Amino acid sequence: MSATIFEKGTAGRSGRYLPPNDCPVEDLGIAAPRRGEVGLPRIGEQDLIRHYIELAGKNYHIDKGMYPLGSCTMKYNPVINEELARLPGFAGLHPAQDEADVQGALELMHRLERDLCEITGMSAFSLQPVAGAHGELTGMMIARDYLRRRGGTRTTVLVPDSAHGTNPASVAICGFTPRTIPSNELGLIDPDALAAACGDDTAVLMLTLPNTLGLFERDIARIVEIVHEAGGLVYMDGANMNALLGIVRPGAIGIDIMHVNLHKTFSTPHGGGGPGSGPVGVAAHLAGLLPVPRVVETGGRYSLSEDLPETIGRVHSWYGNFNVLVKAYAYIRTLGGRGLREVAENAIINANYLMALVGERYEIAYPGPCMHEFVASGKGLKKYGVRTTDVAKRLLDYGLHAPTVYFPLIVEEALMIEPVETEKKETLDHFAEALASIAREAEEDPDLLHRAPITTPVRRLDEATAARDPQLCWRGECVEP
Amino acid sequence: MSYIQNTDADRLEMLARIGAASFEDLLEPVPPGVRAGAPLEIGDPMSESETAAHLRALADRNDPAGETVSFLGGGIYDRFMPATVRYVLSRSEFYTSYTPYQAEVSQGTLQAIYEYQTMIARLTAMDAANASMYDGATALAEAMLMACQIKRTPRIVVPAALSPRVRAVLRSYAVGKGIAIDEIPWGAGGTIDPGALAAALKEKAAAVVLAQPNFFGMIEDARAVSESAHAAGALLVVLADPVSLALLEPPGEYEADIVVGEGQSLGLPQSFGGPLLGFMATRTEHIRKCPGRLISATVDLDGKRGYTMTLQTREQHIRREKATSNICTNEGLMALAATVWLATLGEEGFREVAVQSASKARTLYRMLAGEGSVTLPFGKGFFQEFVMSVPDPAEFVSRARRRGVLPGIPIGADFPALGEGAMLVAVTEKRTRADLELLRDIAAGKGGGR
């Protein structure tokens, strides 16, 4: 059992980290002061480090093994990029410093924006959104303000049923109404059904490319045309951009707005849930609506400009997750144009190879070449009383991480698998063997799967009780139990 | 340099297994007309040392506040960062892990967030805190959406003495739901004018926002604002500086309904303003309306204590357009940093950070009070930051910079009522008496260049 940090200290054990105060501590004159203690731990440094290293040991992470989470693009995070982002010349910058003191930072941002424009074919980028969903929200604000400025009252955003949950949620915050459009039997948007759904009320089609089934929308050119003819905009969720690097430039095929996830495609770490970065790119006619400030270059000098009359305003206190931008920029420089194309090619080869292997024991939801990910189904194991969640939990016993499960919602007992380009063939073989072995176990000893995992720091957790009566804080005292 | 491990031989073998003659076969679903016509023009690959040299050269073109005598604040502060924080953050068990969806192999992240939630709840004296938001500004924007949803009223009241950037973020988030944001001017003391607040509350509002301390650094009469808000049927949303909570009455004790804030001050690098850490705490009755992830303690099948994400039916991956927020990726690693920072300093160390900041800020205030052309429009009722006015901020900043001092943020353009000369000066525990004297001398026009 892991006690909390609050249970591990005792009075007087805290270290003294600050030098003595060299200014007088007179009465601070605070009219309504805090009475009593906050309730923070009192723990010595050695035990504090032991505590967090103990917790570290209970985490699965990329440096430990493969992370085949569909649509999450858990690729290797180059360690050099961590080192570079920590340079005092980056990490020590205050965002309100004089522009003359931050020329290197502004230049890096300007160069990264230009790189993202070249990679995606979009006309301009803002680096301000700090997550994929934040990028979606920013993109929807841009679409909304653009359509309003043109005098329309379009309020419907079409979202395929295979979309990430963030898509309809981002749409709703912006005051739009999401309308689900069903995928056809191939797992794709049906152009005729789309044409029928489009009308005077259509503001935006929000699609993911490749979609969350790992499929490229073959009719993308027609799809874009239909939406544009109806007077709407096309938003592309770039969560799956890893498959398209150097292969498809969304701006060149008529996408109006998109975001990319630097923490997916461009190798920056996920940090156990963040920080991420979700820059938004737009076509030329929307560039004036991007968030401010913009990084502007004039004769080799960089500055931050608020002068953008049609801007949607700000979506973050400052300029986005700068530290993440540094890592993504370093990654792009290291790989270059050729390296990025190799990323996409190898991601696609790895996914198709793994799909062939997994397909031996599991049904593949949509057979045929996939892009960077594919969706298998665990429904064939239901006859043994085994569900996909059991397969996922058993994978943990094999020392592997589970794929994304039960998503996309349109595939029964879904296992959404994205191997990424940095994993080598033997690792994929090993993962496929584990899945095959689990399928055999399901047949022979289903209970083994129901009990799984058994080798992990804890076993299946009682989520129902937690949801009924959430215990969100440690209520005890800060002393040893 | 490439991070791909498969060899040409591997690829041939894999393509054969797939049943494809070449990689081009796999691109069959991508119509030729849609494919990029030419290779990407972003330069050739670089070796690790070339990339490093290029990035170091860019870093060298910056003059970081972290390595000078900085009085810059405005939401981002130059604080002491113990090595423990850097060390834990550099552990790849934390930074290369994903969102803890598979709880059994994510107990490290989950427990750390649970400890973070506990610390935020204790700092704010609220019932519960979530697992983090993007930054203080978006946390306040989400609190606005949450309050308007709870009260089913599309209007909030905010102080005019609010960060202009926070105000801008609120505005862009408010449009979609048609929320009106009305500002209450500050009075002579640089704090909310009670009469103006009362007037603003004659019209129905979902919430009153209290910035504590406000953007000018001034400590508000929180109880009075809370009473006015609640008397008018509005919620009290507090935007709190977390370090100030070592000294100030915590919002839960004056009946705040939602407390948010910028957590950069809790041991995060300044990092040119990102990543930051938005925190949010609330009362039990509102927890199901709260955005973002929540971690709960529970037990496993063997009855062993463990942690899991909970109340996920509020979240976008389950509830889609009916979710309380669209947030997915948050600032988890930054929440870990804050947790380690607070645990390292401990009860006494945390208080000492706040006491040193406040007492040094008061010492500087007294030093500047006597200096020629400097004026101090408001009184001493601040936490660690105050407004001063100088005749020519640009000249003052430039003169100070020549002596290795970043004297403050000019705010006259954002707050014309303060006059063109207004600057915001922040003092943290890292400043020494010698630093304060240096700024005083610069203000007095004494001393030469450095």
B222 touches chain A (CB under 8 A): yes
- What is the total residue count of chain B? 450
Which of B340, B366, B391 marks a domain boundary? B340
Q: Are residues B297 and B266 in the same domain?
A: yes
CATH of the domain at A372: 3.90.1150.10
Average pLDDT of the residues in A399-415: 95
What would the two tokens of residue A337 be? Answer: 């144009």
Distances (CA, A) of A460 to A379, B99, B320: 21, 17, 26
* Cβ neighbours of A41 in B, within 8 Å: 342-343, 346-347
* Cβ neighbours of A478 in B, within 8 Å: 347
- CB-nearest to A353 from B17, B91, B269 is B17
User: Could you say which DSSP state residue B67 is in?
Assistant: G
A201 to chain B, minimum CA–CA distance in Å? 17
Between residues A479 and A168, the one the model is more confident about: A168
Q: Are residues A124 and A242 in the same domain?
A: yes
Element (H, E) at B157: strand B155-159
The answer for residues whose C-beta is within 8 angstroms of residue B245's C-beta and 6 or more apart is: A34, A38, B123, B124
Residue A380 CB burial class (10 angstroms; 0-12, 13-18, ≥19): middle
Selected for mutation to probe chain A from B55, B145, B314, B398 (highest A CB count within 10 Å) is B55
What b/e readout covers A10-24, taking b as 16+ CB neighbours within 10 angstroms? eeebbbebeeebebe
Distances (CA, A) of A411 to A379, B209, B372: 10, 45, 74
Whether residue B41 is contained in a domain is answered as no
Q: Are A257 and A357 in contact (CB under 8 A)?
A: no
Angle at B438 between CA B434 and CA B439, to 5 degrees: 120
Cis peptide before A275 (omega within 30 of 0): yes
Q: Are B450 and B408 in contact (CB under 8 A)?
A: no
| Strand extents, DSSP E, A261-394 | 280-282, 294-298, 301-305, 363-364, 374-377
User: Could you say which DSSP state residue A139 is in?
Assistant: H
Write out the residue range of the structural domain in which residue B368 sits: 66-79+346-443
Q: Among positive and negative, which fits the CA dihedral B119, B122, B123, B125?
A: positive
Residue A151 CB burial class (10 angstroms; 0-12, 13-18, ≥19): exposed
Calculate the average pLDDT of chain A.
96
B372 to chain A, minimum CA–CA distance in Å? 23
User: Is residue A16 very low, low, confident or very high in pLDDT (cuts 50, 70, 90)?
Assistant: confident
Interface of A with B in 292-321 (CB under 8 A): 312-321
User: Could you say which DSSP state residue A188 is in?
Assistant: S
Spatial separation of the C-alpha atoms in residues A120 and A249, rounded to whole Å = 5
Count of structural domains, chain A:
2
Question: What residue of B is the nearest CA neighbor of A458?
Answer: B104
Q: Are B48 and A80 in contact (CB under 8 A)?
A: yes
A87 touches chain B (CB under 8 A): yes
Interface of A with B in 28-57 (CB under 8 A): 28-35, 37-43, 45, 48-49, 51-53, 55-57
Q: Are residues B300 and B434 in the same domain?
A: no
Average pLDDT of the residues in A197-219: 97
Whether the pLDDT of residue A465 is over 50: the answer is yes
* Cβ neighbours of B177 in A, within 8 Å: 173, 175
- CB-nearest to A166 from B17, B26, B316 is B316
Q: Are residues B95 and B74 in the same domain?
A: no
- CB-nearest to A5 from B39, B70, B115 is B115
What would the two tokens of residue B290 be? Answer: 């709260």
Q: Contact A356/B19, CB-based, under 8 Å?
A: yes
Spatial separation of the C-alpha atoms in residues B309 and B299, rounded to whole Å = 13
Which of B300, B321, B340 marks a domain boundary? B340
Q: Are residues A232 and A152 in the same domain?
A: yes
Whether residue A32 is contained in a domain is answered as no
- φ, ψ (nearest 5 deg) of residue A132: -60, -50
B51 touches chain A (CB under 8 A): yes
Spatial separation of the C-alpha atoms in residues A207 and A237, rounded to whole Å = 6
Terminus-to-terminus CA distance in chain B, angstroms?
43
> Helix, strand, coil proportions of chain A in percent (round to 5)?
40, 15, 50
Q: Are residues A260 and A352 in the same domain?
A: no
Question: What residue of A is the nearest CA neighbor of B251?
Answer: A34
Spatial separation of the C-alpha atoms in residues A128 and A131, rounded to whole Å = 9
Which of B306, B340, B374 marks a domain boundary? B340
Task: Using DSSP bridges, classify how beta strands A202-208 and A156-160 pair: parallel, antiparallel or unpaired.
Answer: parallel
A440 to chain B, minimum CA–CA distance in Å? 22
Give bridge partners of residue A125 from the DSSP assignment.
Answer: A281
What's the pTM? 0.97
Whether the pLDDT of residue A481 is over 50: the answer is no
- CB-nearest to A467 from B63, B172, B311 is B311
Q: Contact B401/A453, CB-based, under 8 Å?
A: no
What would the two tokens of residue A344 be? Answer: 């996409």
Whether residue B265 is contained in a domain is answered as yes
What would the two tokens of residue B185 be? Answer: 């001017």
pLDDT in tens, chain B (450 residues): 999 999 999 999 999 999 999 999 999 999 999 999 999 999 999 999 999 999 999 999 999 998 999 999 999 999 999 999 999 999 999 999 999 999 999 999 999 999 999 999 999 999 999 999 999 999 999 999 999 999 999 999 999 999 999 999 999 999 999 999 999 999 999 999 999 999 999 999 999 999 999 999 999 999 999 999 999 999 999 999 999 999 999 999 999 999 999 999 999 999 999 999 999 999 999 999 999 999 999 999 999 999 999 999 888 888 888 889 999 999 999 999 999 999 999 999 999 999 999 999 999 999 999 887 899 999 999 999 999 999 999 999 999 999 999 999 999 999 999 999 999 999 999 999 999 999 999 999 887 544
Q: Are residues B336 and B352 in the same domain?
A: no
Whether residue B14 is contained in a domain is answered as no
Element (H, E) at A425: helix A425-444
B355 touches chain A (CB under 8 A): yes
A198 touches chain B (CB under 8 A): no
Distances (CA, A) of A246 to A281, A341, B38, B40: 17, 5, 8, 6
Q: Are residues B373 and B251 in the same domain?
A: no
Selected for mutation to probe chain B from A318, A393, A465 (highest B CB count within 10 Å) is A318
Spatial separation of the C-alpha atoms in residues A95 and B406, rounded to whole Å = 12
Whether residue A22 is contained in a domain is answered as no
- φ, ψ (nearest 5 deg) of residue A302: -110, 140
The answer for residues whose C-beta is within 8 angstroms of residue A187's C-beta and 6 or more apart is: A162, A211, A213, A215, A365, A366, A410
Average pLDDT of the residues in A17-40: 94
Whether the pLDDT of residue A1 is over 70: the answer is no
Q: Are residues A345 and A228 in the same domain?
A: no
Q: Contact A313/B169, CB-based, under 8 Å?
A: yes
* Cβ neighbours of B45 in A, within 8 Å: 334-336, 338-339
- pLDDT tens readout for residues A255-288: 999 999 999 999 999 999 999 999 999 999 999 9
Q: Are residues B277 and B424 in the same domain?
A: no
Whether residue B1 is contained in a domain is answered as no
Q: How much of chain A exceeds pLDDT 90, in percent?
A: 95
- pLDDT tens readout for residues A181-199: 999 999 999 999 999 999 9
B16 touches chain A (CB under 8 A): no
Q: Contact A423/B311, CB-based, under 8 Å?
A: no
Whether residue B29 is contained in a domain is answered as no
Whether residue B318 is contained in a domain is answered as yes
User: What is the three-class DSSP state of A207?
Assistant: strand
Spatial separation of the C-alpha atoms in residues B47 and A336, rounded to whole Å = 10
Whether residue A70 is contained in a domain is answered as no
Distances (CA, A) of A136 to A132, B94, B307, B416: 6, 26, 30, 35
Q: Are residues B215 and B135 in the same domain?
A: yes
Q: Are residues B380 and B335 in the same domain?
A: no
Selected for mutation to probe chain A from B48, B58, B101, B140 (highest A CB count within 10 Å) is B58
- pLDDT tens readout for residues A307-365: 999 999 999 999 999 999 999 999 999 999 999 999 999 999 999 999 999 999 999 99
Q: Are residues A239 and A379 in the same domain?
A: no
What pLDDT is recorded for position A14?
Answer: 76
Amino acid identity of residue A340, one-letter, is L
Which conformational region is residue B278 in: left (phi greater than 0), alpha (psi within -120 to 50 degrees), or beta?
beta
Q: Are B307 and B114 in contact (CB under 8 A)?
A: yes
Count of structural domains, chain B:
2
What would the two tokens of residue A282 be? Answer: 């737009």
Spatial separation of the C-alpha atoms in residues B101 and A406, rounded to whole Å = 12
User: Could you say which DSSP state residue A467 is in?
Assistant: H
Question: What residue of A is the nearest CA neighbor of B129?
Answer: A472
Which of A312, A335, A358 marks a domain boundary? A335
B233 touches chain A (CB under 8 A): no
Which of A304, A335, A366 marks a domain boundary? A335
Whether residue A72 is contained in a domain is answered as no
Whether residue B167 is contained in a domain is answered as yes
What pLDDT is recorded for position A26?
Answer: 80
Q: Are residues B157 and B229 in the same domain?
A: yes
- φ, ψ (nearest 5 deg) of residue A203: -90, -50
Is ipTM strictly over 0.90? yes
Whether residue A60 is contained in a domain is answered as no
Q: Are B371 and B182 in contact (CB under 8 A)?
A: no
Question: A with B: how many residue pairs have Cβ under 8 Å apart?
Answer: 697
Angle at B220 between CA B219 and CA B222, to 5 degrees: 125
Whether residue A473 is contained in a domain is answered as no
Q: Contact A461/B307, CB-based, under 8 Å?
A: yes
User: Is residue A12 very low, low, confident or very high in pLDDT (cuts 50, 70, 90)?
Assistant: confident
Residue B312: other Cβ atoms inside 10 A: 17
Q: Are residues A352 and A445 in the same domain?
A: yes
Whether the pLDDT of residue A480 is over 80: the answer is no
Q: Are residues A328 and A380 in the same domain?
A: no
Q: Are residues A459 and A396 in the same domain?
A: yes
Between residues A67 and A27, the one the model is more confident about: A67
Q: Are residues A159 and A177 in the same domain?
A: yes
Q: Contact B100/A29, CB-based, under 8 Å?
A: no
A409 touches chain B (CB under 8 A): no
User: Could you say which DSSP state residue B206 is in?
Assistant: S
B88 touches chain A (CB under 8 A): yes
Q: Contact B219/A31, CB-based, under 8 Å?
A: yes
Q: Are residues B222 and B256 in the same domain?
A: yes
Whether residue B44 is contained in a domain is answered as no
Q: Are residues A251 and A345 in the same domain?
A: no
A443 to chain B, minimum CA–CA distance in Å? 23
Write out the residue range of the structural domain in which residue A275 sits: 80-335
CATH of the domain at B234: 3.40.640.10
CATH of the domain at A328: 3.40.640.10
Q: Are residues B388 and B280 in the same domain?
A: no
Average pLDDT of the residues in A165-186: 94
Spatial separation of the C-alpha atoms in residues B241 and B246, rounded to whole Å = 10
For residue A210, give the nearest of A71, A73, A345 by alpha carbon: A71
Q: Are residues B218 and B319 in the same domain?
A: yes
Selected for mutation to probe chain A from B22, B35, B97 (highest A CB count within 10 Å) is B97
A157 touches chain B (CB under 8 A): no
A353 touches chain B (CB under 8 A): yes
- φ, ψ (nearest 5 deg) of residue B194: -60, -35
Distances (CA, A) of B9 to A343, A358, B14, B15, B207: 17, 21, 9, 10, 64
Q: Are A5 and A48 in contact (CB under 8 A)?
A: yes
B210 touches chain A (CB under 8 A): no
Q: Contact A274/B329, CB-based, under 8 Å?
A: yes
Q: Are residues A88 and A111 in the same domain?
A: yes
Whether residue A52 is contained in a domain is answered as no
Which of A310, A335, A360 marks a domain boundary? A335
Whether residue A4 is contained in a domain is answered as no
The answer for residues whose C-beta is within 8 angstroms of residue B259's C-beta and 6 or more apart is: B124, B126, B237, B238, B240, B251, B252, B279, B280, B281, B282
Q: Contact A4/B111, CB-based, under 8 Å?
A: yes
Q: Are residues A351 and A298 in the same domain?
A: no
User: What is the three-class DSSP state of A279?
Assistant: coil
Interface of B with A in 409-428 (CB under 8 A): 409
Q: Contact B3/A78, CB-based, under 8 Å?
A: yes
Spatial separation of the C-alpha atoms in residues A408 and A237, rounded to whole Å = 15
Q: Are A151 and A277 in contact (CB under 8 A)?
A: no
Q: What is the per-residue DSSP string for B242-258?
A: TGGGGTBPPGGGGT-SE
Interface of A with B in 455-474 (CB under 8 A): 456-463, 465-467, 470-474
Terminus-to-terminus CA distance in chain A, angstroms?
13
